[in-house]
Amino acid sequence: MAGPRIAIAGALGRMGRAVAAAAADGEVVARFDRPGSADDGLVDRRTALDLADVVIDFTTAAAAAALARSAAELGRPALVIGATGFDEAEDDAVRAAAERVPIVRSGNFSLGVNILTGLVREAAARLSALDYDIEVFEAHHRRKVDAPSGTALMLGEAAAAGRGVKLSEVRAGRRDGVTGPRAVGEIGFCVLRGGGLVGEHSVIFAAEDEIITLSHSARDRALFARGAVAAARWIVGKPPGLYSMQDVLGFTAQSPAAD
């Protein structure tokens, strides 16, 4: 059976090129980027939407939200969104679009990270907030513009879910100067930006007498591209809704994703 007709947003970027390399021959039918980009193989966004069954987008939150609005107006195609750093309005736009078209959105398309997410949720459910502080550490290349990373937030949300709370209720504030002692149950974030780091994520459960660390290291962007292409093949033909990579991999019974 032939694969889906895939369009790639941000085709000239690192992830756009990686997605093109990960797709099978004949699957990529359109590539587009910012208006005015110099590449003879590019088309405009509307043409890409008309040609494709699904668009893979690793651009920016603003561009992904605009793409979602356009897809919702047309009622097609499906979307796979790997952009991160959404503000409230951009997030609302994606959620509204998911009422018209099927969308897979994930902070990370790696199989390993999604397994890690499940392990973090299970560990948090079993390690008391009274005894174990949770800290999420992430490191990326110097060019990444948002922090914490979408993956770090995904891991923080998994930890919060394991403890039956929302991340927004327990997320530690910015630490600078005299901050006082750590509050019980806080989930904190540490961020490093430098060089060409592809992606490092760790979740630390720290007690007085032991430290448990669950971690994942990405060595090549190709792993994210392969996951996004797998999501693109999975989402075509699904009913409208907001899905996660956990749905794609069969790790969740609920579909589409509620969060």
Which of the residues are catalytic? 140, 144
Task: Compute the distance between CA of residue 247 and CA of residue 142 in angstroms, rounded to an integer.
Answer: 31
Rounded-to-integer distance, Cα 36 and Cα 129, Å: 52
The C-alpha atoms of residue 73 and residue 97 are separated, in whole angstroms, by: 8
Measured between its terminal Cα atoms, the distance across the chain in Å is: 32
Q: Which residue has the tokens 């060019």?
A: 143
User: How far is Cα 245 from Cα 113, in angstroms, rounded to an integer?
Assistant: 10
Whose CA is closest to 108, among 174, 155, 44? Answer: 155
For residues 47 and 118, what is the distance between their CA atoms, to the nearest angstrom? 39
From residue 206, alpha-carbon distances to 73, 160, 180, 188 in Å are 48, 15, 18, 12
Contacts of 166 (CB under 8 A, 6+ apart): 160
Amino acid letter, residue 36: G
How far apart are alpha carbons 129 and 187 in whole angstroms? 10
CA-to-CA distance for 164 and 127, rounded, in angstroms?
A: 12
45 vs 64: CA distance, rounded Å: 12
